Amino acid sequence: MLIVIIPAVAGIVAQLFSLPTLALGAAVLTRMESAVSWSFIIGLTVSSLDLLAGVPLAWLIVRRRGNWATVLDSLADIPFVVPTVALGFSILEFWSSPDGIAQLFGSNSLVPPGVILIMLLHFAFSFPVIVRVMVGEFLNYRETYEVAARTLGASTFTAVRTVTLPILRTGLLAAFLLALARSLSETGATIVVAGAFENGTVFISNARNAGQTSAVVLASLILILSSLVVFGVIKVVAPRIRVAPLRVWPDFERKLSKSSVVTVRNIASVAIFMAFVLFPCLFIALPAIMAVASGTATEAIAGAGPWKAFWSSMLLSYVIAVLATVVNIVSGLPMAILIARNRFGTGITKIVDALVDLPIIVPSLALGVSLSFFWKNMGSLPEFWVIVLAHTTITYSYFVRAMTASIQEVQPELEDAAKTLGAQPLRVFRKITLPLTKYALLSGAILVFTRSVDETGATSAVSKTLKTAPILLVSWIKGTVSVTSPERALGVGFLVATSFLALVVLRLIAIRQPSRKVG
Amino acid sequence: MPQLRFVNVTKRFGKVLALDRISLDVNDGEYLCILGPTGSGKTTLLKLMAGLLTPDEGTIQSNDRRVNEVGVQDRNAVYVPQHYALFPHLTVLQNVAFGPLARGKPASLALEIASETLDLVRLSSRAQALPKELSGGMQQRVALARGLASGAKLLLLDEPLSAIDARLRLDLRHKIRDIVKQSGLTAVHVTHDQEEAMSVGDEIMILKNGRIQDFGPPQRVYRKPAGIFVAHLFGGASFFEGIVEHTVGETALIGVRGLTIQAPSRMLTLTSTVILGLRKERVRISADQPRGMDNVFRGEIRSVRFLGNSREYLVRLSNGDTIASRNFVENEAAFKVGDEVSISFRESDVMVFEYPAQGLLKELEVG
Amino acid sequence: MPKLDIIGVSKTYGSIQALTDISLHIEDKEYVCVIGPSGCGKSTLIRCISGIEQPSGGEILIDGQSVKRTLMEDRQIGYVFQDIALFPHLTVRDNLAYGLAVRRAPSNEMRTVTNEMLDLINMRDRSNSFPRELSGGAQQKVAVGRAIATGARLFMLDEPLGALDAIVRAELRYELRKLASDLGLTVIHVTHDQEEALSIADRVVIMKSGRIVEVGKPSEIYHVPNTLFTANFVGEANLLEGEILTIDANLCTVDVAGHEVKVYSFGKRIGQKVIAFIRPESVLLTPPTEDGWRGRVKQVTFLGSLNRYVIEVDGMEIISEVSTADYSTGFAVGERVSLFLNEATMVLFDYPEEGLEKEVGLE
């Protein structure tokens, strides 16, 4: 655990201390201010829109049991698993290029690269976060509350608005914050669609390429601190917001509950999802398939030209991902157990809990900067290992969170019973806890793996010579390495294909998960 | 030699005092029932016995050896939680074999023990089933079998019947006791149902707010409860506030708002306030004045409750107080609301208690 | 004045038949308890009545009007849940007022009614507490008050006392009954506790495996049950196997393990195998005498107000309950006794085709 958290924290602290030594021009400072503020404006706007669009869809998935719902559920996961670089490219092609949706409107480009395109991108990849979290919340929610409200005379809309959503407000908040974190963090894809515009991460990336280290350090520091502040404030203030006294418009809300209105709403949810999330994400499939057809594929597999570098990057990405996964399991599992079973005592557990969340809150690019600071000062560690550690740090939180939740669901009584039956702690873990959480372990591992393959932010900050696959692809897309269109499309396609494999395995695991409750 | 002994055991959770200086003995082969309302500390007490919790103060001894620090696995006591905690991913047979396996027995022997125990609880036919396929009553028996198979000498049952339908409880509670006795084990059975405690316990312990209110065989605790709360929780009674007006030898005359009740005197001081308690079945009801009873009053029936094997009458006496009478004689014509009747009971039926510091209502509060 | 008519209602979940052909008429202001073992369909029935579920077949009429097209929020049926379901984010006061708030009642009406409810359940001083700060019994009272506040006259109670301690249950059930009487409510109260049902119901409905087995007043179903299942379910019962020897104007002489009992029973034949039913409290025990059935005490259970004896008699086991008020000492295990059966209270049943276990089985 310590390997993971300490460098991050220490790096940030070291950065703080280096403040006085930084030298920056006024123009750069104004650019930086504007970039960082834009990061937050984009993040907050997009997360709110995602919440508004995602909750109805999550509702639909949970309440409308049956085949359609399961299909929707799987589709909603797609943007989650597709690497963000691919997403960025797909969105770029969909909205901006002449081959995209612009065709339907008879123009060259519907949404040129810039802030709007960034928002469309962030909306798309934060959407599944909201849906996932809210689907989980709705599934765990005791429907009795809503039924009770309706037996008291409330229409469905009123019941949901006045009872279900307030009760689920912690879940809504968590979803919002996760979406926000993702938006603030994202680097690779944002660079692809930003054009000349700069948000925080684009600024830092540009500054890095231009060799302006002071700007890089300062900007990342500001990004980190402001993230911590924003999250801190929201986490503290939001739960204390008093639920407003009940104001109901019975006739109006009754009309909203009518099945015709509900159908319209459902269709709208699905339509928005398709138009702004699914199609833009899948658009990349077309050029990729065309590229295969055109024969580029054979070249690719042969490893000719740029493909040589591509395959070695892919190999690098996978090796790093595997290592990151292993380190995560080894260091994250014990931590999850300790947190889940409150072994530290309530006070310390809360602190540890918050610390574990750090890598999620802090934008990965900025985190990468901190980490390189730390390892630079610690003497020379091979770049490869620094990247592995960076990936481990980024994904640590996700893994520990998922495992903690899963372990907490295993009723303590089961472990108590096992202990009194004479089982030593190791046996309790092996025979009881592990079998009941192994599916979470598996899904957690796969999520870590895909997130690592996906990672651009911290990697770009930390790597100097080694290029992981997404980083390579960014250079292909932006043209810093010149490749043909079909080659670009195919490269992205290969990356997506592997992630799809992971998604399929995840789904299979989820279906086979046994129920954990008895009676 | 007591199998388990608590000496002044105290347990706190933060600022909350869950158990306050508990001292008790559980003897070898005994079936102890702990009765108390929710929040009285019953589960905490059980977990201390199992070793899942350690006391903040006091000593726990097993066969005269201090075991405060002894780990759960080595306590030779098995804890059966309220909802059984059957391992959902293991079959019934695997669940039952878990204990012997954990204690190091070879697999073949463990399975043999498990099969035998399943036979004992008559569930051999469901050996390969998963817990979720079984009904509540069957799950209960599996939990019991699992505890028995572990070879532990002490069985700790946390509200074993609370999740079972009322009618099924009547059958199961005897079965549990029979199996425990047959296997020669010691059991501590926690419940909030006083009839259950009464019918299966060799000894009863009444717990309220972390303190022992009474301890003894069911008959004694029923006939001579140590306090108002015990009388109320364990059997139920009608209570009256009165003032000691007169004492003559072994008898005292208590004034209860105008009526005079003859009660046994045990060092009662004149003019002190006392609480009188009367068990419902000891209060006789008749149309005419009975003869040979120490206490006879006229009253009017305010309500009638049919309880199957008996009827309970609430009778308003001339002083405004209400007394309950439980009548088992079924071929007597039932009384109706509004009937004028005679209420009578013997002096020896009257229970006399000290006036409680916090008042009667507070004392009777169950939560 | 809510009268309830349930006509031929059935409910299927996939291949599971939860309710089959349920028909029942409930009068205005009646308090009806529905009892039965777990899984008998009693909760499904009231969920169908209140609109939470839709029946697969049959009709439900409230005051003569079919409610098939009425949504649950418009049926005006109060519902109390087994797991209480108070809104955790609202105070007691806001919970009570919820039903009024959702129909935009004027604020002075809301205030008046809410205060009335707080007084009714005696919780004025806890009006600003949150549900998690209250005991189980208190929470349930708030849940009941919340339903009453909407002005509903028809109530469905789904095991309302199931989550509470035994002693709280025993007290609260009478409070519940009194509330219903005082307010003139029509109530269907589902429970698995027969004693609860017997003590407060005007009529009791017994269900098993999705069907109604029997309906009747508490004393009727207890003393003269129509089926063996009822006989065994509604309290403890002695079910003795016997054979009819003679019949004289409906007075049957039955051979029970070599002893003769005389019981009035209709529609029986000579030589027919029957089950003779008698309640434990109708079996009298005395020290051994000339008359009576000779037996030996196998088990004694102390139950406070009475002792429960299991007596071994000629290969049978007979349960007897004796009030502790009558005898200062009881009988001990192994002691010899004489039994006297109160034949006037006995009922004869045809011997069940599928065997006794299956007929009365609860699991």
Instruction: Tell which CATH architecture fits domain C4-230.
Output: 3-Layer(aba) Sandwich (3.40)
Write the residue in C76, C83, C102 that is nearest to A154 by C-beta: C102
Q: How far does the CA of residue A281 sit from the closest CA of chain C (Å)?
A: 39
Q: Of all helices (H) and strands (E), which one includes residue C60?
A: strand C57-62
Task: Enumerate the residues of chain A whose CB falls inside 8 A of the CB of residue C150.
Answer: 152-153
- Amino acid at position B170, single letter: L
Residues linked to residue A31 through DSSP beta bridges, in sequence order: none
Name the most confidently modeled range: A460-464, A495-499, B5-9: B5-9
3-state DSSP: chain C helix, strand, coil percent, rounded to 5? 30, 35, 35
Close Cβ partners of A67 (under 8 Å, ≥ 6 residues apart): none
Q: What is the pLDDT of residue B33?
A: 96
Q: What is the pLDDT of residue A484?
A: 74
Model confidence at B136, pLDDT cuts 50, 70, 90, reads confident
Q: What is the pLDDT of residue C22?
A: 95
First to last CA, chain B: 37
A429 in contact with C, Cβ within 8 Å: no
Asked whether the beta carbons of B287 and B341 are under 8 A apart, the reply is: yes
Q: What is the pLDDT of residue A515?
A: 46
Q: What is the pLDDT of residue A220?
A: 79
Q: How far does the CA of residue B233 sit from the closest CA of chain C (Å)?
A: 7
C54 in contact with A, Cβ within 8 Å: no
A37-283 CATH choice from 1.10.3720.10, 3.40.50.150, 3.90.400.10, 1.25.40.340: 1.10.3720.10
C154 by DSSP, 3-state: which? strand
Model confidence at A3, pLDDT cuts 50, 70, 90, reads low
Which residue shows structure tokens 């199609």?
A279
Task: Enumerate the residues of chain A whose CB falls inside 8 A of the CB of residue B134.
Answer: 519
Taking only the tens place, the pLDDT of each residue in C48-90 is 999 999 999 999 999 999 999 899 999 999 999 988 899 999 9
Name the most confidently modeled range: A204-213, B109-118, C351-360: B109-118
Residue A498 φ/ψ region, left for φ over 0, alpha for ψ in the -120 to 50 degree band, beta for the rest: alpha
Asked whether the beta carbons of B238 and B281 are under 8 A apart, the reply is: no
Q: How far apart (Å, rounded) are the C-alpha atoms in residues A488 and A379?
A: 38
Task: Enumerate the residues of chain B whose CB falls inside 8 A of the CB of residue A431.
Answer: 98
Q: What is the pLDDT of residue B171?
A: 84
Q: How far apart (Å, rounded) are the C-alpha atoms in residues B363 and B227?
A: 10
**CA-CA-CA-CA torsion sign (A453, A458, A459, A460):** positive
Close Cβ partners of C218 (under 8 Å, ≥ 6 residues apart): B306, B308, C197, C198, C199, C201, C203, C204
pLDDT reading at B21 higher than 70: yes
Model confidence at B14, pLDDT cuts 50, 70, 90, reads confident
Which residue in A has a C-alpha nearest to residue C151's C-alpha?
Answer: A152
Which residue in A has a C-alpha nearest to residue C72's C-alpha?
Answer: A151
DSSP labels, A5-24: HHHHHHHHHHHHHTGGG---
Task: Enumerate the residues of chain A whose CB falls inside 8 A of the CB of residue C85.
Answer: 142, 144-145, 147-148
Write the residue in B170, B307, B367 that is nearest to C135 by C-beta: B367
Query: Lowest-pLDDT range, A234-248, B131-145, B237-251, C268-282?
Result: A234-248
Q: What is the pLDDT of residue C32?
A: 97
Q: Half-sphere exposure of A163 toward its Cβ, with a 13 Å CA cutoff?
A: 30
**pLDDT > 90: what percent of chain A?**
6
Q: Of all helices (H) and strands (E), which one includes residue B327?
A: strand B322-327
Write the residue in C72, C77, C89 that is nearest to A166 by C-beta: C89
Q: How far does the CA of residue B160 sit from the closest CA of chain A (Å)?
A: 14
Domains and CATH numbers, chain B: 2-232 (3.40.50.300), 239-355 (2.40.50.100)
Instruction: Tell which CATH architecture fits domain C236-354.
Output: Beta Barrel (2.40)
DSSP labels, B34-60: EE--TTSSHHHHHHHHHTSS--SEEEE
Determine the average pLDDT of the residues in A212-225: 78
- Does the beta-carbon distance from A152 to C50 stay under 8 Å? no
Taking only the tens place, the pLDDT of each residue in A326-384 is 888 888 888 888 888 776 677 777 777 777 777 777 777 877 777 777 777 666 677 78
**Cα dist. B218→A61, B33, B38 in Å?**
57, 9, 21
Nearest in space to A87 (alpha carbons), one of A480, A466, A474, A361 = A474
- B292 vs C328, more confident: B292
Which residue shows structure tokens 């005419």?
B288
Task: Enumerate the residues of chain B whose CB falls inside 8 A of the CB of residue A424.
Answer: 73, 102
DSSP C51: T
Q: Which two tokens stand for residue B305?
A: 């409750």
Asked whether the beta carbons of B154 and C129 are under 8 A apart, the reply is: no
C25 by DSSP, 3-state: which? strand
Taking only the tens place, the pLDDT of each residue in A249-286 is 888 888 888 888 888 888 888 898 888 888 888 887 77
A vs B, Cβ pairs < 8 A, gives 85
Q: What is the pLDDT of residue C11?
A: 95
Which residue in C has a C-alpha nearest to residue A158's C-alpha?
Answer: C102
Q: What is the pLDDT of residue B262?
A: 92
DSSP labels, C101-149: HTTT--HHHHHHHHHHHHHHTT-GGGTT--GGGS-HHHHHHHHHHHHHH
Determine the average pLDDT of the residues in C293-311: 93
pLDDT reading at C256 higher than 90: yes
Taking only the tens place, the pLDDT of each residue in A121-172 is 899 888 888 888 888 888 888 889 999 999 999 998 899 889 998 888 888 8
Q: How far apart (Å, rounded) are the C-alpha atoms in residues A266 and A57?
A: 7
What residues does each domain of chain A span? Answer: 37-283, 284-519
Q: What is the pLDDT of residue C184?
A: 94
- A500 vs B346, more confident: B346
What residues does each domain of chain C span? Answer: 4-230, 236-354
Nearest in space to A75 (alpha carbons), one of A115, A135, A117 = A135
Do the domains C236-354 and C4-230 match in fold? no
Q: What is the pLDDT of residue A519?
A: 31
Q: How far apart (Å, rounded) are the C-alpha atoms in residues A428 and A426?
A: 5
Q: What is the pLDDT of residue C335?
A: 93
Write the residue in C196, C304, C325 that is nearest to B198 by C-beta: C304
- B115: exposed, middle or buried (C-beta count within 10 Å: 0-12, 13-18, 19+)? middle
Which residue shows structure tokens 């008429």?
C25
- B39 vs C60, more confident: C60
- Does the beta-carbon distance from A416 to B52 stay under 8 Å? yes
Determine the average pLDDT of the residues in C84-113: 91
Q: What is the mean pLDDT of chain B?
A: 91
Write the residue in C81, C89, C103 that is nearest to A144 by C-beta: C81
Determine the average pLDDT of the residues in B3-9: 92
Q: How far does the CA of residue B149 sit from the closest CA of chain A (Å)?
A: 9
- What's the CA angle centered on C10, arms C5 and C14, to 5 degrees? 155
Q: What is the mean pLDDT of chain A?
A: 80
Do the domains A284-519 and A37-283 match in fold? yes
Q: Half-sphere exposure of A192 toward its Cβ, with a 13 Å CA cutoff?
A: 33
Asked whether the beta carbons of C17 and C10 are under 8 A apart, the reply is: yes
Model confidence at A32, pLDDT cuts 50, 70, 90, reads confident
Taking only the tens place, the pLDDT of each residue in A425-450 is 888 888 888 888 887 888 788 778 88
Model confidence at A516, pLDDT cuts 50, 70, 90, reads very low
* Interfacial residues of B (vs A; Cβ cutoff 8 Å): 47, 50-52, 72-73, 75, 77-89, 98-99, 102-103, 131-132, 134, 136, 139, 146-147, 150, 152, 156, 163
**Cα dist. C311→B171, C238, C296, C315 in Å?**
16, 11, 5, 10
pLDDT reading at B331 higher than 60: no
Q: How far is CA A305 from the centre of its chain?
A: 33
Which residue in B has a C-alpha nearest to residue A515's C-alpha?
Answer: B88
C14 by DSSP, 3-state: which? coil
Model confidence at C220, pLDDT cuts 50, 70, 90, reads very high
**pLDDT > 70: what percent of chain A?**
88
Q: What is the pLDDT of residue A1?
A: 55
Radius of gyration from C-alpha coordinates of chain A: 24
List strands edge to edge, sheet with C154-158. Answer: C77-80, C154-158, C186-191, C31-35, C203-208, C211-216
Q: What is the pLDDT of residue A142?
A: 87
Determine the average pLDDT of the residues in B73-88: 89
- Does the beta-carbon distance from A427 to B102 stay under 8 Å? yes
Write the residue in C74, C76, C87 that is nearest to A145 by C-beta: C87
Determine the average pLDDT of the residues in B20-38: 93
Determine the average pLDDT of the residues in B238-251: 92
Backbone φ and ψ of C35, nearest 5°: -125, 160
Instruction: Tell which CATH architecture fits domain A284-519.
Output: Orthogonal Bundle (1.10)
Q: Are strands C251-256 and C259-264 parallel, antiparallel or unpaired?
A: antiparallel
Taking only the tens place, the pLDDT of each residue in A94-116 is 888 777 777 777 777 777 888 88
